[in-house]
Amino acid sequence: MAGSRLELIAPPAGRLLLVGPRATEDLQGFAPDDTVVVQGFRPDHDALAGRGFRVVPTPAAVPGADFAAAIVFLPRAKAEARARVAAAAARLAPGASLWVDGQKTDGIDSMLRDLRALAAVDEVQSRAHGKIMRLTVPQGDWLPADWAGAERVVGDGFVTAPGVFSADAADPASQALAAALPDRMPTRVVDLGAGWGWLSALVLARPGVETLHLVEADAVALDCARRNVTDPRAVFHWADATSFRLPDPVNGVVMNPPFHDTRSPDPHLGARFIRAAAGLLTGAGRLWMVANRHLPYEPVLAEHFAQVQEIAGDARFKVITATGAGRPRRR
């Protein structure tokens, strides 16, 4: 764990709960047999499970409550960070140790301030542009009830949860894509990176669709989508879109691909979504996607599709359609 803040701490013996570590986190110091990990992002979930940890997708799926200690890994979104702390605290008895680890850029300092106002913080260590802090869980209801992160209802009755993409309202880029979709959609469609289902709901509202596959890596977002899209034509996949495959090709893909992972911009992520879309489509099938205007997806689209056309957009976004998967203009 050299260089990791985790090597600065000494968790007590007994079962340990880790809430939200990414696969990049160095967890060598923790015994897989005694450690339960909450990680709902499928690629990280699978990588951590591959290292022998018992990994569950949501706090609700954590088995038991007899943990000696918990470590919360802070995400950038404040509401999600608080929800993680509340989820960990709910599994700890008074007297147990609760650690919170985070980068300055993820708000560890303001979390530390908030927690100091609620409980005695016993230890704070700094390293690598971040901090790890420990408190002893007090008796009683010590955390404000709203930290648990109630779900919300937005727009026309869509349920969202803290930390999911665009939790406050439909994303403007997705709205631009939806407005540019044809009146009639193909029969078999995939929504790659379906989030909480807003775009999928609009696709299903158009005639033509017989089956719509919602593919989403974030288990919490997909749970919201299951509640938001109750149409029997919808099929839900908790999966990494970049490696997602179906037994038979489809004739439509819609997507508003992510262009950064939770911490840093990743220009290759959208390119991997484009490759995956091409791999899912028949040659006559069609992709509709939206992207921020500055993102240079045209070369990778030309590598995988025969025809690529911008059909809508403005200064911020471009809506692109592409067909002829597997017959690229450029190899």
Ligand X SMILES: C[S@@+](CC[C@H](N)C(=O)[O-])C[C@H]1O[C@@H](n2cnc3c(N)ncnc32)[C@H](O)[C@@H]1O
Q: Which residues form the interface with ligand X (CB under 6 A)?
A: 43, 165-166, 171, 174, 193-195, 198-199, 215-218, 221, 240-242, 256, 258
CA distance 135 to 225: 36
C-beta closer to ligand X: residue 260 or 329: 260
Which tokens belong to 61? 């799926």
Q: How many CB atoms lie within 10 A of CB 88?
A: 26
Where do we find the tokens 């919490």? 220
C-beta closer to ligand X: residue 43 or 208: 43
Q: How far is the CB of 120 from ligand X (least distance, A)?
A: 36
Q: How far is the CB of 189 from ligand X (least distance, A)?
A: 12
Q: How far is the CB of 206 from ligand X (least distance, A)?
A: 15
Q: How far is the CB of 163 from ligand X (least distance, A)?
A: 9
C-beta closer to ligand X: residue 38 or 69: 38
Contacts of 89 (CB under 8 A, 6+ apart): 70, 98, 137, 142, 143
C-beta closer to ligand X: residue 67 or 259: 259
Contacts of 204 (CB under 8 A, 6+ apart): 212, 229, 231, 233, 234
Q: How far is the CB of 218 from ligand X (least distance, A)?
A: 4
C-beta closer to ligand X: residue 23 or 112: 23
C-beta closer to ligand X: residue 99 or 259: 259
Chain centroid to CA 299: 27
Q: How far is the CB of 291 from ligand X (least distance, A)?
A: 10
CA distance 141 to 318: 49
Cβ atoms of 20 and 84 within 8 Å: the answer is yes
Question: How would you label 235-254 residue by residue, b for 16+ Cβ within 10 Å and e otherwise?
Answer: ebbbbbbbebeeeebbbbbb
